[in-house]
Chains A and B, each alone.
Chain A
Amino acid sequence: MLTLLICLPLLGALLLLRRSEAEREALRLEALLWTLLTGVLSIFAYLHVIDVCTGAPANTFAYEVNAPLIPRFGVTYHLGLDGISGLLVMLTGVLGFVCVQGATAGVKDGLKGFLVALLVLESAILGVFCALDLFVFYIFWEAVLIPMYFLIGCWGGDRRIYAAVKFFLYTLVGSLLMLVALLFVAYQGQQPTFDLTVLYRQRLAPDRQLLPFLAFALAFAIKVPLMPFHTWLPDAHTEAPTAGSIMLAGVLLKMGTYGFIRIAIPLFPDAALHFGPWFVTLAVCGILYGALVALVQPDVKKLVAYSSVAHLGFVMLGLFSFNLLGLQGGMIQQVNHGVSTGALFLLVGLIYERRHSRQIADFGGLFTQMPLYSRLFLLTVLASVGLPGLCGFVGEYLVLFGASQRSMAVAALAGVGVILAAAYLLWMFQRVFYGPVASDEVRAMPDITRPELLSFVPLAVLMVVLGLFPSVFLKAAEPTMQWVQQQVPLTAAAAVPETGSKLRRGVAH
């Protein structure tokens, strides 16, 4: 099942290759069909995951496949989904469809290559989330780079080459060190093994965890991106074509946070705890820095890019508060960010196609020109700033609550970040959509068309569903999250007093 899911877009890409460049409509429809199939399949997969994983013991995986791949090296073809990866797989499936439906009209030439790259990218990302074996994980993790590199470099903006190379090299350096650490970890036991579920059981001694943890953490932190490693992100986002930005913000960055949840924290809990304060500090710095820079951006897309830095700061803050609330909050927040920021990039892409500008100053008064579009944009902005009832609220609330149990000061600073987020997004909204109509070009901009609307619908549905029924998603992820939380050997002083103990009692392990 998971193999099928991973191979489906890849198969689509291969079949697209036989078509000629000239049949634009046919190319687009065929790609749409493949992503639609993948999307539907991924939703079904997640529904099944909810069924299997809610209330199940820790490390229960749906659709588990486990076959030896290279027995001599302990490499296994181990795939499986739980409440965390299942959600991300669904998000990937949905965003794949959204990209092809909503963000391919602007691709003027080389549409075939573009769609092929997009489909290969989707395959690789699905692989990352499904993998339960470090070798397989690493292959997919790095394979993501190639299509994304081409997406940015061939179909991006003016400084696309710089952005593409920067993106590629930044990520590569991090992941190469991860490769060494990965091998180091795999060769610790009597038998080499790359199987994560086996590695969970053979934990390294606390003092030997530090270096491998740092190597993994560097790779993931670059991908997230955590504050000092974030400089590739604004470039990549601004230069990437809309579909690239959606995939990048929507799921690619989640590979980093997912890596922390799935690998870095549970494999090296002692080291994670040891370096925890550093990550919390960096996360808070990221929240504030991202928000402040976003506040002064004249370019809408860049503003959204910096808001990503801030939002992912929240995710990291949640993860490194090491209590169930924070972890769950981080988990759900990363999905929220994927949905709402993906939607923002989509919408920004739509007006860029019409106006060929992303400068806030070039717009104004769009509300009267494009009423439907404006309302959708407002919905997305509100979801992003965390209006209760929409998706952003749950995550931010849980993260703040979790962080406050560790440290009030940190939570307060992060709270400032929430306020700033509301400020820059709403201020941007005001400047773009209200006021006098800026120019004749704006006056000539048509409202959102029906195909574009269709691409937005799945995201809107997700925003509302995630906002109204968060418990469904949280429950499915809870067994794993609880288990991750128990791995971290919090000392009595640092532990969360009542919630932690209550949760601990409830789990048989």
Chain B
Amino acid sequence: MDFRPPDMNLWAALPTAVVGATALVTLLLSVLRPAGAARRSISFTLFGLALAAVGCLPAAIFRPGPSFQGMLVLDPAAVLLSLLLLGATAVCVLLASRYLVHDGVDAAEAAVLLTLGCAGMLFMVSAGNLLMVFIGLETMSVALYILAGLAGARDRTSHEAALKYLLLGAFATGFLVYGMAFVYGATGSLDLREIGARIAGGGAAPGFLAVGLALLLIGLGFKVALVPFHMWAPDVYEGAPTTVAAYMAVGVKVAAFMALLRVFNVAAGGAAASWQAAVAWLAVLTMLVGNLVALAQTSLKRLLAYSSIAHAGYLAVGLAAGGAAGAQAVLFYSVAYGFMTLGAFVVLLALERADDKPQLDDLRGLRRRHPLLAAALATFMFALAGIPPLSGFLGKWLLISAAVQAGQVPLAVAAVLCSAIAAFYYLRIVVYSYMREPADDASPVTLAAETRQALAACLIGTLLCSFPFGLWLLSAAGWAAGALR
């Protein structure tokens, strides 16, 4: 009998393994030696995340290709997004050590859950097989269900958010798995490369494939909050602790979009006719609803939730455009979006008071109360609005140029019109923080050390994605998109 040793290319699994091990060791340590566990587990987790980031480097250099029978593909795109996700997790761990602890949460517990979620996300971005997409998604989601409810002891809405997220998330999982079953039925394989080859070779049953892809789109659409599968997002973001909301807005969206990219753009690229129009319509709907509803929000958290829905719409434009240009746009925009949204949430956290959610009015006169924070907030808002030379513009430029290149000019026009609507509410935040006088009872804002570090990280990230520095990332994204196969 022919026996081939499994192609255990450990380089490809290194980052995820390190992250998973970090989570488990932190958990064990905090149980075995509870004294001083909080500080220790935070530093240990940060160290583990840094180690995992370093662990990505051999993959970037040696390019291991598909490993474990094609289960894991640590290609440049996966490395790029892994680094972003590791960074985002590190920022969230930092924030959790400050803010979640206020909510009566054990710091070690939060760190472990965030790290486990990160492991799931890393699986998703480097998945080469539908099974890996599923396992990654579930690892991430289960961790997040708990995280969303962590502040429940103090804040009833947190429990409610957790339950809502759980029910709708599990509901979406049902669609996802059923869709995977149909894709498997149509092509006879779970491996994404194999699926791509079967579709290209005409060996796929078109009816099953279309049903499968539609169900997959619904399932993943829930996770990234595409309209009309977005209803959970504002509620969950508002109810969950802000740190967790930030983690959801950035991590879940980026990881799930990478999965969408791998499944639709790469594997099912040959069957584009069956899904492209649907994705384009979802994109338009998402941008429109996200931006229009965001206009009416006064709660900053809800506003950011709708803004992140709208951004899922922009990312979907890149998905609908397809091809290497679309993939490049999605990769770049994911990174840019990650930094600017995380930054906006950090500012929100800095403004949060004991028991009320920050409103637009709380921003009044921020320029006088804390000039640096105001400047950072304005940077993030202009970046989110896509005003050059900031990162959001380069991302939008790529997305729109991908759509134009693919001949989808109406989609491009819809995208720019929606971003004009978006500018209105981002500007309003700047208006409040810069042009209105502070309320009489406004307290001065002070930043904790952790917040300052997190803010600096997001600001530097955003500036590095902006013109002219962003051109490096832009070429890197282009290169990574070219290697996506």
A176-B419, A180-B400 are known; give 10 further A-B pairs, CB within 8 A.
A145-B387, A146-B382, A153-B435, A164-B435, A168-B427, A176-B420, A177-B413, A183-B400, A183-B401, A187-B405
A228 to nearest B CB, angstroms?
18
Complex CA–CA separation, A185 to B431 (angstroms): 35
B417 surroundings in chain A (CB, below 8 A): 173, 176
Q: Is A107 an interface residue (CB 8 A)?
A: no
Whether A138 lies near B413 (C-beta < 8 A) is no
Contact yes or no, A72 B424, CB < 8 A: no
Measured in the bound complex, the distance between the Cα atoms of B409 and A184 in whole Å is 8
Q: Which residues from chain A contact B397 at a C-beta distance below 8 Å?
A: 135, 179, 183
Chain A nearest Cβ from B481, distance in angstroms: 10
Q: Tell me, yes or no, whether A275 is within 8 Å of chain B by CB.
A: no
Interface pair A150/B434, CB less than 8 Å apart: yes
CB-nearest residue of chain A to B407: A187
By the criterion CB–CB under 8 Å, are B387 and A146 in contact? yes
Q: Is the CB of B435 within 8 A of A70?
A: no
Distance of B304 from chain A, by nearest CB (Å):
20
Query: Given A161-B431, A168-B427, A184-B409, do A73 and B389 touch, yes or no (CB 8 Å)?
Result: no
Nearest CB of chain B from residue A465's CB, rounded to whole Å: 35
**CB-CB nearest 10 A-B residue pairs:** A176-B416, A139-B388, A183-B404, A142-B388, A153-B435, A183-B401, A173-B420, A180-B412, A161-B435, A143-B388
**A168 surroundings in chain B (CB, below 8 A):** 423, 427
Collect the chain A residues with CB atoms within 8 Å of residue B412's CB: 180, 183
Instruction: Decide: A154 near B389, CB < 8 A? Known: A72-B475, A176-B420, A180-B413.
Output: no
| Docked pose: A141 CA to B420 CA in angstroms | 16
> Residue of B at shortest CB range from A162?
B431
Provide the bound-state CA to CA distance between A192 and B405, in Å.
Answer: 10
Q: Assess whether B420 is in contact with A153, with CB atoms less than 8 Å apart.
A: no
Report the separation of the CA atoms of residues A20 and B102 in the bound assembly, to the nearest whole angstrom. Answer: 35
For B99, the chain A residues whose CB sits under 8 A away are none
Check A72/B478 contact, CB under 8 A, given A177-B413, A184-B404: yes
- Residues of B near A169 (CB, < 8 A) are 420, 423-424, 427
Rounded to whole angstroms, the CA-CA distance of A154 and B428 in the bound complex is 13
Establish whether residues A180 and B427, one from each chain, have CB atoms under 8 Å apart when the complex forms. Answer: no
User: In this assembly, does B153 line the interface, its C-beta being within 8 Å of a C-beta of chain A?
Assistant: no
CA distance A142 to B385 in the complex (A): 12
B247-279 interface mask toward A, CB cutoff 8 Å, 1 = contact, 0 = none?
000000000000000000000000000000000
Query: Which residues from chain B sit less than 8 Å from chain A, CB to CB?
Result: 367, 382, 387-389, 393, 397, 400-401, 404-405, 409, 412-413, 416-417, 419-420, 423-424, 427-428, 430-431, 434-436, 467, 471, 474-475, 478
Choose among A73, A150, A161, A176 the residue with the greatest number of B CB atoms under 10 Å from its CB.
Answer: A176
Inter-chain CA distance A70–B400, complex, in Å, is 16
* Closest partner residue, chain B, to A69 (CB atom): B471
The CA of A173 and the CA of B419, in the complex, are separated in Å by: 9
Write the chain B residue with the least CB distance to A152: B435
Asked whether B478 lies within 8 Å of A142 as measured between CB atoms, the reply is no
Q: Is A165 an interface residue (CB 8 A)?
A: yes
User: Distance (Å) between the CB of B25 and the closest chain A CB?
Assistant: 43
Looking at the complex, which one of A72, A138, A177, A187 makes contact with B388 (CB distance below 8 Å)? A138
A-B contact pairs, 8 of them (CB 8 A): A142-B388, A143-B387, A145-B387, A153-B430, A169-B420, A173-B420, A176-B419, A180-B412
Residues of A contacting B400 in the complex (Cβ-Cβ under 8 angstroms): 179-180, 183
In chain A, residues 128-159, which have Cβ atoms closer than 8 Å to a Cβ of chain B?
135, 138-143, 145-146, 149-150, 153-154
Across the interface, which residues of B come within 8 angstroms of A179, CB to CB? Answer: 397, 400, 416
Shortest distance from the beta carbon of B429 to any chain A beta carbon, whole Å: 12
Cα–Cα distance between A168 and B422 once the two chains are bound (Å): 12
A78 to chain B, nearest CB (A): 14
Is A378's beta carbon under 8 Å from chain B? no
Q: In the assembled complex, which residues on chain A have CB atoms less than 8 Å from the CB atom of B409?
A: 180, 184
CA gap between A138 and B416 in the complex, in Å: 14
CB nearest to A17 among chain B residues: B375
Within 268-325 of A, Cβ neighbours of B (below 8 Å) are at none
A residues 396-420 near B (Cβ < 8 Å) are none
Q: Within 8 Å CB of A138, what residues of B?
A: 388
Q: For the complex, what is the distance from the CA of A169 to the CA of B367, rounded to whole Å? A: 22
> Which single residue of chain B is at the shortest CB-CB distance from A144?
B388
Whether A172 sits at the interface, judged by CB under 8 Å, is: yes
Are the C-beta atoms of A180 and B420 separated by less than 8 Å? no
Cross-chain contact B404 with A180 (CB below 8 angstroms): yes
Collect the chain A residues with CB atoms within 8 Å of residue B405's CB. 183, 187, 192
In contact, A165 and B427 (Cβ under 8 angstroms): yes
Instruction: Give chain A residues whose Cβ lies under 8 Å from the Cβ of B475.
Output: 70, 72
* Chain A proximity of B390: nearest CB distance (Å): 9
Bound together, the chains give a CA A169 to CA B405 distance in angstroms of 27
A237 at the interface (CB under 8 A from B): no
The answer on a CB contact under 8 Å between A177 and B427 is no
Residues in B with CB closer than 8 Å to A262 are none
Selected contact of A187 from candidates B387, B401, B423, CB within 8 Å: B401
- CB of B420 to closest CB in A, whole Å: 5
Q: How far apart are the CA atoms of A73 and B400 in the complex, in Å?
A: 13
Q: Does A223 contact B (CB under 8 A)?
A: no
Residues of B within 8 A of A72 (CB): 475, 478
Q: Does A337 count as interface, using CB distance less than 8 angstroms?
A: no
Tell me if A139 and B423 are in contact (CB < 8 A).
Answer: no
Contacts of B367 in A (CB 8 A): 110, 154
Q: Any chain B CB within 8 A of the CB of A254?
A: no
Residue of A nearest to B478 (CB): A72
Contact, CB under 8 Å: A153 / B387: no
Asked if B382 and A172 make an inter-chain contact with CB atoms under 8 angstroms apart, the answer reads no
A352 to B467, CA, bound (A): 39
State which residues 60-98 of A face B: CB under 8 Å.
69-70, 72-73
A153 and B388: CB pair below 8 A? Answer: no
A153 with B389: CB separation less than 8 A: no
Give chain A nearest CB distance to B398 CB in angstroms.
9
User: Is A172 in contact with B423, judged by CB distance below 8 angstroms?
Assistant: yes
Please name all residues of chain A whose beta carbon is closer than 8 Å to the beta carbon of B401 when the two chains form the complex: 73, 183, 186-187
- A160-B413 in contact (CB<8A): no
Q: Are A180 and B388 in contact (CB under 8 A)?
A: no
Closest beta carbon of chain A to B413's beta carbon, Å: 6
Q: How many Å lie between the Cα of A143 and that of B405 in the bound state?
A: 25
Inter-chain CA distance A179–B400, complex, in Å, is: 8
Chain B residues closer than 8 Å to A160, beta-carbon distance:
435
A153 and B467 alpha carbons, distance in the complex (Å) = 25
Q: A154 contacts B434, CB within 8 Å?
A: yes
Complex contacts, B436 vs chain A, CB 8 Å: 161
Q: How far is the CA of A153 from the CA of B401 in the complex (A)?
A: 32
What separation, in Å, do the CA atoms of A161 and B417 have in the docked complex? 22
Contact of A70 among B382, B420, B427, B474 (CB under 8 A): B474
Report the Cα distance A312→B474, complex, angstroms: 39
Q: How far is the CA of A444 from the CA of B431 in the complex (A)?
A: 37
Chain B residue nearest to A160 in the complex (CB): B435
Q: Which residue of B lies closest to A110 (CB)?
A: B367
Complex contacts, B393 vs chain A, CB 8 Å: 139, 142
> What is the distance, in angstroms, from A177's C-beta to the closest C-beta of chain B?
6
CB-CB nearest in chain A for B394: A139
- Nearest A residue to B434 via CB reads A154
Q: Which of B382, B387, B435, B471 contacts A154 (CB 8 A)?
A: B435
Q: In whole angstroms, how far apart are the Cα atoms of A173 and B422 in the complex?
A: 11
Quick one: which of B388, B401, B427, B475 has the most chain A CB within 10 A? B388
Chain A residues lying within 8 Å of B413, measured Cβ to Cβ, are 177, 180
Tell me whether B389 and A143 are in contact (CB under 8 A). yes
Query: Measured between alpha carbons, how far is A326 from B416 in the docked complex, in Å?
Result: 35
A89 CA / B474 CA spacing, docked (Å)? 31
Instruction: Collect the chain A residues with CB atoms within 8 Å of residue B431's CB.
Output: 153, 161, 164-165
Complex Cα distance, B382 from A176, in Å, reads: 15
**Do the beta carbons of B434 and A153 come within 8 Å of each other?**
yes
Residues of A179-197 contacting chain B, CB below 8 A? 179-180, 183-184, 186-187, 192
Q: Are B420 and A172 in contact (CB under 8 A)?
A: yes
List residues of chain B with CB within 8 A of the CB of A149.
427, 430
Please, how many angstroms separate the alpha-carbon atoms of A129 and B434 in the complex?
30
A72, B397: Cα distance in complex, Å:
14
Separation in Å of the A160 CB from the closest CB of chain B? 7
